[in-house]
């Protein structure tokens, strides 16, 4: 049975992050840090972390600054941006694992924003493998019709306006998880960037001589990267509970045979 330890770990700038360390009874030489979604406390991932620890993985969960056990004062007084969650908080978690488990291969699982944070994580090359779950763009037109009814006014009206009025975003009042620091107003600027990227992508596709070849090229590139990054004798790491749709994930190239690929 895994041992659970509650502790505080320092972010890159020294901010104290509430964290939980799951120590397996028989370590398998691998550690996993879990990046939470926006406004989601680490407790949400406790059962998944315990599942991994029961199979030999050392697991670290943590709350971003301003969330859960990483909120130490009034949210109105906290100056935090989403990129701080990646560049300072997630980086601090990685530093903690490297310092305390120096002979362990470090993996990461990111949920929603937590998966997007991989791109902002300093020293992400230190990760032996990573799995992003539901790390979508969030663009409101990607939602089903019913979802657009609340997504557009939330991202275009409430998100930029409420933090200016009350000093934070009251997500808990709207059913979106934990209240967020005012810095999440950056999401609106990010949404504008995503719209611009979509326009540029559409223009590029229209100009391509054979747009149908793009998926094949992407598949070849993915296969080449996987071949270069895999060492002789490597085996897939079985990280996913059996209840998850492994076959569906495998079809999308996210897992190999129902497992997350990575060094053995």
The architecture that CATH gives domain 1-135 is 3-Layer(aba) Sandwich (3.40)
- The share of the chain scoring above pLDDT 90, in percent, equals 50
The pLDDT value recorded for residue 128 is 94
The pLDDT value recorded for residue 86 is 95
Q: Which two tokens stand for residue 215?
A: 């998926």
The pLDDT value recorded for residue 193 is 52
pTM of the model: 0.72
SS3 label, residue 42:
helix
- State the Cα torsion 244-62-112-222 to the nearest 10°: -70
**CB of 57 within 8 A of CB of 28?**
yes
Domain boundaries, the chain: 1-135, 139-207
SS3 label, residue 143:
coil
The pLDDT value recorded for residue 256 is 41
Task: Please list the residues that pair with 109 across neighbouring strands.
Answer: 34, 131
Reported as a single tens digit per residue, the pLDDT across 3-14 is: 999 999 999 999
The pLDDT value recorded for residue 260 is 42
Query: Helices 159-166 and 186-207, interaxial angle, to 10°?
Result: 160
Strands 30-35, 105-111: pairing is parallel
In sign, the C-alpha dihedral spanning 242, 247, 253, 258 is positive
The series of mean pLDDT values per 10 residues for the chain, 264 residues long, is 92 98 96 96 96 96 97 93 94 96 94 92 92 84 84 83 91 88 66 57 60 51 47 42 46 41 36
User: Average pLDDT, whole number, for the chain?
Assistant: 79
The pLDDT value recorded for residue 219 is 52
C-alpha 208/C-alpha 205 separation (Å) is 5
């Amino acid at each position: 049975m895994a041992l659970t330890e509650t502790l505080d770990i320092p972010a890159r700038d020294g901010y104290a992050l509430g964290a939980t360390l799951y120590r397996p009874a028989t370590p398998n030489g691998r550690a996993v840090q879990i990046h939470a979604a926006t406004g989601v406390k680490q407790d949400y991932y406790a059962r998944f972390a315990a599942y991994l620890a029961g199979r030999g993985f050392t697991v670290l969960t943590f709350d971003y600054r301003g969330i859960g056990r990483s909120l130490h004062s009034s949210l109105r007084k906290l100056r935090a941006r989403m990129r701080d969650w990646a560049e300072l908080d997630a980086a601090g978690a990685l530093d903690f694992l490297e310092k305390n488990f120096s002979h362990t291969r470090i993996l990461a699982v990111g949920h929603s924003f937590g998966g997007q944070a991989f791109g902002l994580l300093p020293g992400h090359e230190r990760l032996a493998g990573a799995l992003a779950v539901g790390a979508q763009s969030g663009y409101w037109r990607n939602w089903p019709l019913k979802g657009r009814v609340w997504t557009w006014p939330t991202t275009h009206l409430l998100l930029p306006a409420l933090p200016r009025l009350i000093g934070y975003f009251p997500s808990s009042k709207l059913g979106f998880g934990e209240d967020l620091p005012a810095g999440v107003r950056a999401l609106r600027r990010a949404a504008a960037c995503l719209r611009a990227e979509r326009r540029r992508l559409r223009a590029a596709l229209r100009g391509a001589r054979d747009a149908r070849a793009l998926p094949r090229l992407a598949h070849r590139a993915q296969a080449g990267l996987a071949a270069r990054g895999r060492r002789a004798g490597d085996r897939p790491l079985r990280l996913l509970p059996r209840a998850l749709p492994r076959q569906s994930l495998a079809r999308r190239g996210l897992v190999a045979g129902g497992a997350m690929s990575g060094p053995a």
